[in-house]
Amino acid sequence: MHEIPLILLGIGGVGRALIRQIIANRTLYAEQYGLKLGVLAICDRTGAVLGLGGGIDDQALLDLIDLKEAGGALTEHALGGDDYGDMSTIVSLAGRPGAVMVDVTATDATIPALLAARERGYKIALANKKPLTDTQEVYNRLTQAGATGGVAHFQQSVRWEATVGAGLPVIATQNRLVASGDKIKRMAGAFSGTLGYVMTGLQAGRRLSEIVREAHQLGYTEPDPRDDLGGMDVARKALILARGLGWEVELSDVDVTGLYPPNLDDLNVDEFLDALPELDKAMDATIRDAAARDGVLRYAATVENGRCFVGPTVVSADSPLGRLTGTDNLAEFHSHWYSPNPLVLQGRGAGVDATAAGVLSDVIELAFTRE
């Protein structure tokens, strides 16, 4: 039995789903993979819990899930604790050969801990986009080691499938195409279920203001719907795809167009929803204009010719992106071997369970990877 010690950063929705899946899959991993996943430490902004020996036992893990769901803080139960910014105690105490640090937070405060982990030779699995969309210098330190090799070599020890499309194997597909020497000329995709829902409604002739208000009420959007409609989350995904091709690009280089103009940024959420109808007419004209060109409007990320574009995009109604409706994510890879038809991936691209499943696949692959 090969033991994989995990250091878990974050115990929000994805972290809790991940712990539940680890516990549910213990027999599978033991019998089919010869693996035991041990949770050595869990840290979040409220503190940290360290396990000794084989890690935190399953009952204690389930208790921690209950604690967090009741709004508790980890410090209450901590053997040691710290914020993400100064994780040296955790990193050194949890240190074991083959340790994997798993970041399922949504903060850039984990970056120092991740860099410290890399320096100690730990592997890393990320659902958190922030460390990969920080400066190119941070990205390079996380994913490559300057002295010994290129980007691709170190992608073997650092994985981030769940940052784009949750459990959909978008990054695995990209890495396989790159590894085969295929030339990826263009990636285009829909990477927001919320924006997919909005675009499908618009195509059906509904008003933007009405769709957004409904989606907000149903809880399909972030508490502030501008966090979806502004496109920054999709921009981070586009940047991760671009950097995965070896491009040196910063987040500020991504050309992002939101579904609302910047002057609505100063309003509160209710004022914003009330102001949305003033955008309906222009949006309707844009949709009609696309249709007149035999196209449809999608909120797409496009990575091509050294540039990343994120925003409403007219695509052929007959293309994979053009045929997409609803909240599924979709990625098109246009490459030397996949031409004229792209390689296409489609499916659920969000949700804590699908995201945790993507992280868990990465952890299992890392367990069989040599540095």
Q: Which of 143, 195, 346, 350 is close enough to bind a second copy by CB under 8 A?
A: 346
The torsion of the CA quartet 250, 253, 255, 259, rounded to 10 degrees, works out to 50
Contact 244, 175 (CB under 8 A): yes
Comparing CB distances to a second copy, the nearer of 227 and 318 is 318
Comparing CB distances to a second copy, the nearer of 88 and 341 is 341
Q: Please, where are the H alpha helices in 70-207?
A: 88-93, 111-119, 136-143, 151-155, 170-179, 193-203
Catalytic member of 68, 123, 130, 237 = 237
Q: Which of 59, 168, 205, 306 is close enough to bind a second copy by CB under 8 A?
A: 168
Decide: is 342 part of the binding site for a second copy (CB under 8 A).
yes
Angle between helices 232-244 and 170-179 (to 10 degrees): 20
Decide: is 45 part of the binding site for a second copy (CB under 8 A).
no
Decide: is 246 part of the binding site for a second copy (CB under 8 A).
yes
End-to-end CA distance of the chain: 20
Contact 213, 277 (CB under 8 A): no
Give the binding-site size for a second copy (rule: CB under 8 A): 55
Stretch that binds a second copy, among 58-66, 69-77, 262-270, 343-351 (CB under 8 A): 343-351
Contact 161, 128 (CB under 8 A): no
Q: Which of 13, 21, 73, 284 is close enough to bind a second copy by CB under 8 A?
A: 21
Shortest Å, Cβ 193 to a second copy? 11
Alpha carbon distance 171, 243 (integer Å): 11
The 10 Å CB-count burial string (b at 16+, else e) for 207-217 is bbbebbbebbe
Decide: is 85 part of the binding site for a second copy (CB under 8 A).
no
Comparing CB distances to a second copy, the nearer of 38 and 320 is 320
Site string for a second copy, 105-144 (x = CB under 8 A): ----------------------------------------
Q: Which residues pair with 255 in a beta bridge?
A: 309
Q: CB-based contacts of 217: which residues, under 8 Å, 6+ apart?
A: none
Decide: is 316 part of the binding site for a second copy (CB under 8 A).
no
Alpha carbon distance 318, 182 (integer Å): 25
Stretch that binds a second copy, among 51-59, 107-115, 212-220, 355-363 (CB under 8 A): 355-363
By CB under 8 A, what part of segment 256-295 binds a second copy?
none
Q: Which of 12, 54, 179, 255 is close enough to bind a second copy by CB under 8 A?
A: 179
The H or E element spanning position 17 is: helix 13-24
Is 130 noted as a catalytic residue in this protein?
Answer: no
Comparing CB distances to a second copy, the nearer of 216 and 243 is 243
Comparing CB distances to a second copy, the nearer of 122 and 333 is 333
Q: Count of residues for the chain?
A: 371
- Please confirm whether the linkage preceding 112 is cis (ω < 30° from 0): no
Comparing CB distances to a second copy, the nearer of 184 and 276 is 184
- Nearest Cα neighbor of 329 from 342, 318, 320 is 320
Q: Using CB under 8 A, list all residues that contact a second copy.
A: 21, 24-25, 28, 31-34, 148-153, 156, 161, 167-169, 172-173, 176-177, 179-182, 246, 320, 323, 326, 328, 333, 337-338, 341-348, 351, 353-354, 357-358, 360-361, 364-365, 368-370
Which active-site residues does the annotation give? 237
